[in-house]
């Protein structure tokens, strides 16, 4: 067993080594669709208190594992911890999502930013990882994560989610040097943040490039991919004699899979618009693949969900190298029993692909 884990399916699949069935975890597996999450969240009072109190972050990280047979835990945190630690003044406004009091707009705003100390301002994330890793006691691997530089930059520049990105895209065109300075600083911050996460107990890393797919191919290469590649180069891939795999997920990145795989990452996350069979043909000899059921389908009937799970498994086909997941995060409206149906389907249908 890898790393002394009781369940190392996820690590084996990421290394494209044989498994007995396809491992599975779900993006946003801890969250508002679970009543026990809403209860802890209410007790914490607000979202950032939940993230920054290690015992509470640990509690919600483990909630989906108590309920479901999942093959990995993902530390409960957020990608916006880095911009928050840079002093932008993060708050979560009810019904609006994240808002920054001090968005970054000009070259002089960017000059004032510094790489946060992962064991200082961000030390609460490391504490949450340490507490959670100990509580997991080797049941499944613990995933650490960060936003990609470009995705973090969109929130920092726009000051909120849910925009058309005109300010962020405008910076790339009208002040490319300032944009590169910001993205370079974010890449350095992410490298030190992820290395510290590994030291604190993360066994797998994932980079969320949620907004890479809104860029033109040229801008994606220049302003997103380049910095993700720098991060893959910069992180230590071994810890205590074990490899630490990294998964890159560009939502909407289906047209750039070969380039993403060429960064040297271990796995590529796919949204549901990509056909797994085609992705595997393109990059399956270099990386593992993670995905990619449309999370909206979790609102359909349990029979429908089972059919769609079988479609995803069938599209990847026989052999290792697939980590089952959604193509994006689970939404708050999903009934918890539908997640049970999804997990049962993966458990029952996937062994046939690993004989």
Segment contacting ligand CP3 by CB under 6 A, of 90-98, 114-122, 216-224, 315-323: 90-98
Q: Which of 33, 68, 155, 316 is catalytic?
A: 155
User: At its nearest, how many Å lie between ligand CP3 and the CB of residue 35?
Assistant: 13
Rounded Cα distance, 66 and 121, in Å: 31
User: At its nearest, how many Å lie between ligand CP3 and the CB of residue 143?
Assistant: 8
Q: Name the residue with the smallest CB distance to ligand CP3.
A: 210
Please provide the DSSP assignment of 247-302 as one string. EEEETT-GGGHHHHHTTT-SEEE--TTS-HHHHHHHHTTT-EEEEEE-GGGGGS-H
User: At its nearest, how many Å lie between ligand CP3 and the CB of residue 147?
Assistant: 6
Segment contacting ligand CP3 by CB under 6 A, of 11-19, 73-81, 174-182, 306-314: 73-81
Residue 250, CA distances (Å) to 51, 56, 202, 211, 349 in order: 24, 29, 21, 7, 28
E strands present in the chain: 73-74, 90-93, 97-100, 142-147, 204-209, 238-239, 242-243, 246-250, 267-269, 288-293, 322-326
User: At its nearest, how many Å lie between ligand CP3 and the CB of residue 328?
Assistant: 6
Say which DSSP state 34 is in: S
Coil, helix or strand at residue 19: coil
41 is catalytic: yes
For 123, the token pair is 């030390």
Segment contacting ligand CP3 by CB under 6 A, of 78-86, 193-201, 257-265, 344-352: 78-86
32 is catalytic: yes
134 phi, psi to nearest 5 deg: -65, -45
Coil, helix or strand at residue 348: helix
Does position 145 interact with ligand CP3 (CB under 6 A)? The reply is: yes
The binder of ligand CP3 chosen from 87, 138, 161, 304 (CB under 6 A) = 161
Q: Which of 9, 41, 133, 280 is catalytic?
A: 41
Cα 252 to its chain centre, rounded Å, is 14
Of 74 and 261, which CB lies nearer to ligand CP3 in the complex structure? 74
User: At its nearest, how many Å lie between ligand CP3 and the CB of residue 18?
Assistant: 27
**For binding to ligand CP3 (CB under 6 A), which residues are involved?**
27-32, 41, 47, 74, 76, 78-80, 92, 97-98, 145, 161, 208, 210, 329
Active site residues: 28, 32, 41, 78, 155
């Amino acid at each position: 067993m890898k790393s002394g884990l009781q369940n190392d399916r996820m690590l084996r699949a990421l290394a494209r080594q044989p498994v007995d069935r396809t491992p599975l975890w779900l993006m946003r597996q801890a969250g508002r669709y679970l009543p026990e999450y809403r209860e802890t969240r209410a007790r914490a009072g607000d979202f950032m208190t939940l993230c920054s109190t290690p015992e509470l972050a640990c509690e919600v990280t483990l909630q989906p594992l108590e309920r479901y047979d999942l093959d990995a835990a993902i530390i409960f945190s957020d990608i916006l911890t880095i911009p928050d630690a840079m002093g932008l003044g993060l708050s979560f406004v009810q019904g609006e999502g994240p808002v920054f009091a001090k968005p970054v707009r000009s070259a002089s705003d960017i000059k004032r930013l510094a790489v946060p100390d992962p064991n200082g301002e961000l030390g609460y994330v490391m504490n949450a990882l340490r507490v959670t890793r100990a509580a997991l006691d080797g049941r499944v691997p613990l995933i650490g994560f960060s936003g990609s530089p470009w995705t973090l930059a969109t929130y920092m520049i726009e000051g909120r989610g849910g925009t058309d990105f005109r300010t962020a895209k405008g910076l790339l065109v009208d002040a490319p040097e300032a944009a590169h300075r910001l993205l370079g600083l974010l890449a350095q911050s992410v490298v030190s943040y992820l290395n510290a996460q590994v030291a604190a107990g993360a066994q797998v890393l994932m980079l969320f490039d949620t907004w890479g797919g809104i860029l033109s191919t040229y801008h994606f290469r220049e302003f997103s991919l380049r910095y993700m590649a720098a991060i893959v180069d910069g992180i230590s891939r071994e810890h205590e004699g074990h490899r630490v795999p990294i998964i890159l997920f560009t939502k909407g990145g289906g047209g750039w899979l070969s380039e993403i795989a060429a960064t040297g990452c271990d796995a590529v996350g796919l949204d549901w618009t990509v056909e797994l069979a085609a992705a595997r043909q393109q990059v399956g000899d270099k990386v593992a693949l993670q995905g990619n059921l449309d999370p909206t389908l979790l609102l359909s009937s349990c029979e429908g969900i089972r059919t769609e799970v079988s479609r995803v498994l069938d599209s990847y086909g026989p052999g290792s190298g697939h980590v089952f997941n959604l193509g994006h995060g689970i939404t708050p409206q999903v009934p918890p029993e539908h997640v049970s149906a999804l997990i049962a389907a993966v458990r029952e249908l996937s062994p046939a692909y690993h004989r």
